[in-house]
Structure 1
Amino acid sequence: MNWYTLLVLAVGAERVAELVVARRNARWSRARGAVESGRGHYPVMVVLHTGLLAGSLLEVWALGRPFHPWLGWPLLAVVVAAQGLRWWCVRTLGPRWNTRVFVVPGLPLVSGGPYRWLRHPNYVAVVAEGLALPLLHGAWLTAALFTLVNAALLTVRIRCEEAALESALESAHGPAYDPALGVPPAAATGPARARR
């Protein structure tokens, strides 16, 4: 087993850790009256992320993709930075972070950590990792396919999260609520907006 296989397995273990945290946080959210949105796209997300890991290994093994140090080492740094950003999001959101989309009525938006600068920082980590992990060992087909499918999926996912947040705001403040007025809103949970 070479170092790249170990790296991909380590990222897979990180995904399992995410699911454990997400399951615990889902119980926390549901206990506070959370409503889940976007169940239909969630299985696609699971398959896509599993496919990223499997595709990265299979393409390298089956097609003999070489490791080019001039590209691979900087991309390894991107993979590590993406993990750091992801877990910064998890830590910042605390029990409101999830791989699913939940709305917990009455919670304020989180505006600290990476949410101070980015609206969806967790997805920045996903995009960076989805390119860097396969490309660091030359698996450009996997990187391209993941990026294309992930772009479509993130379009659906972000719309789902924004709609869930808007629904929470309207429930808390009425349909005429204008976020520009600065009224403290309710919040949705999920990796991107719990700022949710």
Structure 2
Amino acid sequence: MFWMLITVLTAQRAAEMAVARRNEQKVKKQGAIECGEGHYPYIITMHILFFLSLITEVLLLHKQPSSWWSGIAAAILAVQAIRYWALCSLGAYWNTKILVVPGAELVKKGPYKWLKHPNYTVVVLEIILIPLLYQAYFTMCLFSLLNAVMLSVRIRAEEQALREYTAK
């Protein structure tokens, strides 16, 4: 079951990167400006290291699924639904990079009606729930902290770009 989870999550991330590349091409044709390029490689590295840490912790410490696995798995599925709701709500504007089309209106539909950064909320929850599924507490704690630091940089850069380039 563990390897099936890793395979599904890896395939999901690969598909999202393909969508992000396609969306990047679309919005750059509309004149999109990229912001926050300096921290982007660190985000990618952190996400790769998250999965490597999870795999290492589960395999080396012989972690087993939590006795709460069915509830945690249901929560992970609910979080994925929010991820795709956010992705679909942004359409071609969704990306893993900060790409802003000058003068564009901010998206305020879907989960963006209630949350300013629903996709980041999803990532926070995944970094807690996925390791929790296998009682990988070291990975959960370490990457929750690293992600908090990364998001403090990321959200600040994104907010600045949106203030500077989007329609008021």
| TM-score normalised to structure 1 length | 0.83
Counterpart check, 1:36 vs 2:51: no
Establish whether residue 102 from structure 1 lines up as the match of residue 99 from structure 2. Answer: yes
Q: What is the CA deviation profile of residues 4-44 of structure 1, one whole-angstrom value per residue up to 9, with x for unaligned ones?
A: 12112211111101100000000011101111001111111
Q: Distance in 1 between matches of 2:158 and 2:79?
A: 21
What CA deviation, in whole Å up to 9, does each residue of 1:88-116 have, x standing for no partner?
11100000000000110121111110001
* Equivalent position of 2:64 in the other structure: 66
**8 A Cα contact 1:22 1:98, kept in partner:** yes
Moved >6 Å (runs of 4+): none
1:87: which partner in 2? 84
Does the residue aligned with 2:149 lie in a helix, a strand or coil? Answer: helix
CA distance in 1 between partners of 2:66 and 2:164 (Å): 48
The structural deviation recorded for 1:74 is 1.5
**Corresponding residue of 1:163:** 160
The answer to whether the Cα contact below 8 Å between 2:66 and 2:132 also exists between their aligned partners in 1 is: no
Tell me how many residue pairs correspond in the alignment.
Answer: 168
Give the 3-state SS of the residue equivalent to 1:91 in structure 2.
helix
Aligned-partner residue type, residue 140 of structure 1: Y
Deviation at 1:64, TM superposition (A): 1.0
Give the aligned residue type for 2:81. Answer: G
Give the C-alpha shift of residue 68 in structure 1: 2.5
The answer on 1:117 being equivalent to 2:128 is no
Q: TM-score, normalised by structure 2?
A: 0.96
Point out the more displaced range, 60-69 or 128-137. Answer: 60-69
Q: Does the 8 Å contact 1:78/1:129 carry over to 2?
A: no
Which of these residues, 4, 7, 20, is aligned with residue 5 of structure 2?
Answer: 7
Larger Rg: 1
Give the corresponding residue for 1:19. 17
- Work out whether residues 64 and 134 of structure 2, in 8 Å CA contact, stay in contact via their aligned partners in 1: yes
Gaps (5+ residues) in structure 1? 170-184, 187-196
Q: State how far apart, in whole Å, the 2-side matches of 1:129 and 1:73 are.
A: 15
Rounded to whole Å, the distance in 2 between the matches of 1:47 and 1:79 is 22
AA paired with 2:124? Answer: V
Matches within 5 A, 1:148-187: 148-169=145-166, 185=167
Contact 1:67 1:136 in 2 (8 A): yes
Where does the alignment leave 5 or more consecutive residues of structure 2 unmatched?
Answer: none
Q: Deviations over 1:130-184 (max 9, x none)?
A: 1100111111100111100000000000000000011114xxxxxxxxxxxxxxx
Residues 78 and 128 in structure 1, CA contact (< 8 A), matched pair in contact too: no
| Maintained 8 Å contact 2:57/2:63 | yes
3-state SS of 1:66 partner: coil
Query: What is the CA–CA distance in structure 2 between the aligned matches of 1:163 and 1:143, rounded to whole Å?
Result: 29
In structure 2, the partner of 1:55 is 53
